[in-house]
Amino acid sequence: MDTQELRDEISRLVREYSRRQHRSNRSGDDSDRAEFIPGKTPVPYAGRVFDEDEVEAAVGSVLDFWLTLGPEGERLERGLAEFLGVRNSLLVNSGSSANLVAMSALTSPKLPKQRRVMPGDEVITVAAGFPTTVAPIIQCGATAVFIDADPVTGNPKCHQLEDAYCSGKTKAVMMAHALGNPFDLKTTLEFCRQHDLWLIEDNCDALGCRYTLSGATQYTGSWGDLSTQSFYPPHHLTMGEGGAVNVVKQAALKVIVESFRDWGRDCWCASGKDNTCNKRFGWQLGELPQGYDHKYIYSHLGYNLKPLDIQAAIGTRQLEKLPRFIEARKSNWQKLRKGLADFEDLLEFSLPTHATSWNPDGDFSWDSSGCRTDCSWFGFKISVKPQAGFTRTQLAKHLDEHLIGNRMLFGGNLLRQPAFTTLRRENPSSIRVVGDLAGADRIMNDTLFIGTYPGLSQEMIDYTISTIADFCRG
């Protein structure tokens, strides 16, 4: 048996093993998925959805033993950029690292001085959400300026952007599309263009969302200057750990993002390649001698945040399935919304940005902006109304008791978190707050979300609906 025959046999056995071993990780509509037993089988809020394709790809990459980011990484970066319609996508080892690299890129001395984010400059963000959307702002020495969140959409109240603006100090806006629901890009883009500000879209929970503005429909993550993705298992596709920074249009940003990801180096040669600029020994930068090896010149205080090629091999197979995953998330959200429609007097459900109401046929009524959102839902958001007679925590405990996964909207009002209360006390100049953040407090106190991910079967969704209905009636 030659090596190719041996490899083919390994692949055959790997696929057979995966089919037998990982039945619970198949998509919800897969007939080979493991049986669901109500009350005994957990209903996760999210999770890995894969089959033998991803397992075979991972093992194949190990057999090739490239290990560091290489051919599979290039394939995934190219495929993701083509999907989103952006100039470049650069893989990193997590969504949090993606946010750190994207924010760090705006501090580069290679940028025009008037646009560069310097220590003490301000970056506008939103109070409710995940902490690593905000942490890089402060880690880079800027002041994080918090606006409130809308309890219905989960997104920033973008009409507060002007209130947050400080002439000469505000340099950027960095906000997330909450739970797969695009924030108001129309208002945000108009604000950023008026004041010549950078926009970083944290697209980690929103891969596959679309936004329509002035008749043009684009994926979220393709509207700002930079955007970020996470490929942690609960997200729209997974590499185990992993993420990406998307460079929307400006070629100069690619070199800067790559530099911060790759130790801060000035060289743009791919791993394993030398002298792509044909002047490896022809540079003189900083106070280094003329001709110092360009592969060892560093223009930024960077990091090493690349993932492995094995992870990228998994990601390329996931990307092929992304359109199906997106449609499953939309369908699962609609099933939950329809199944829980009788409890609108007790529970408040999310609405897409620019929608004014959900209709029983699954359509939405829209505001007069002319904008539309098409959500690739990360989760199904539920807020308990004041008159419900029970609390969010009581509902969450009931779901836990019935093995139905649920989560808070991440950190709730981040300003209430221990890290941020300490920061406000010890370094008050690192944070500025606009308004009373009543919406973020409402999300913190009354809101949770359950799953919409593609691994949910119809039986799981029916069980979830009946469990919530029994609790509300009780």
The H-assigned helical ranges of 353-457 are 392-401, 418-426, 438-446
276 band by pLDDT with thresholds 50, 70 and 90: confident
318-357 burial, b if ≥16 CB within 10 A, otherwise e?
bbebbeebbebbbbbbbbbbebbeebeebbbbbbbbbbee
Q: Please provide the CATH number assigned to the domain covering 1-264+299-474.
A: 3.40.640.10
Range 365-389 average pLDDT: 98
Range 458-465 average pLDDT: 98
Give dist(CA 87, CA 288) in Å, integer.
33
pTM, to two decimals: 0.97
Give dist(CA 61, CA 317) in Å, integer.
12
pLDDT at 271 > cutoff 80: no
Backbone angles phi, psi at 19, to 5 degrees: -60, -35
pLDDT at 273 > cutoff 80: no
Q: Identify each DSSP E strand in 345-389 by its residue range.
A: 347-349, 355-358, 364-366, 372-374, 379-384
Domain range annotation of the chain: 1-264+299-474, 270-298
- DSSP category for residue 328: H
Parallel, antiparallel or unpaired: strands 216-219 and 226-230: unpaired
Q: How does the average pLDDT of the chain come out, rounded?
A: 97
pLDDT at 278 > cutoff 90: no
pLDDT of 329-348, one tens digit each? Answer: 999 999 999 999 999 999 99
Active-site residue (options: 235, 236, 354, 402): 235
Answer for the pair 314, 54: CB distance below 8 angstroms, yes or no: yes
304 band by pLDDT with thresholds 50, 70 and 90: very high
Check residue 423 and give its pLDDT. 97
Alpha-carbon distance values, 414 to 45, 125, 263 (Å): 22, 11, 30
Give dist(CA 65, CA 410) in Å, integer.
37
Measured in residues, the chain has a length of 474
Cα angle: 387, vertex 393, 396; to 5 degrees? 110
Assign residue 179 a region: left if phi > 0, alpha if psi is -120 to 50, beta otherwise?
A: left
162 band by pLDDT with thresholds 50, 70 and 90: very high
Which residue bears the tokens 């190219």?
78
277 band by pLDDT with thresholds 50, 70 and 90: confident
Helices 95-105 & 251-261, crossing angle to 10 degrees?
A: 120
pLDDT at 148 > cutoff 90: yes
Q: Name the residue with higher pLDDT: 474 or 317.
A: 317
Q: Pick from 97, 407, 79: which is nearest to 230 by CA?
A: 97
pLDDT of 305-331, one tens digit each? Answer: 999 999 999 999 999 999 999 999 999
Share of the chain above pLDDT 90, in %: 96
> Cα dihedral sign for 261, 266, 270, 274?
negative
pLDDT of 30-84, one tens digit each? Answer: 999 999 999 999 999 999 999 999 999 999 999 999 999 999 999 999 999 999 9
Range 12-35 average pLDDT: 97
The H-assigned helical ranges of 45-84 are 52-64, 71-84
Which pair of tokens denotes residue 167?
């002439």
DSSP H or E run through 89:
strand 88-92
Answer for the pair 419, 130: CB distance below 8 angstroms, yes or no: no
Which pair of tokens denotes residue 202?
């944290």
How many CB atoms are closer than 10 A to CB 382?
A: 24
DSSP H or E run through 450:
strand 447-451
Which residue bears the tokens 């129309």?
186
pLDDT of 77-135, one tens digit each? Answer: 999 999 999 999 999 999 999 999 999 999 999 999 999 999 999 999 999 999 999 99
Q: Is 398 a catalytic residue?
A: no
Answer for the pair 79, 317: CB distance below 8 angstroms, yes or no: no
Helix or strand or coil: residue 125?
A: strand
Range 365-374 average pLDDT: 98
Q: Which residues contact residue 366 at a Cβ distance below 8 angstroms, ignoring those fewer than 6 apart?
A: 354, 355, 356, 372
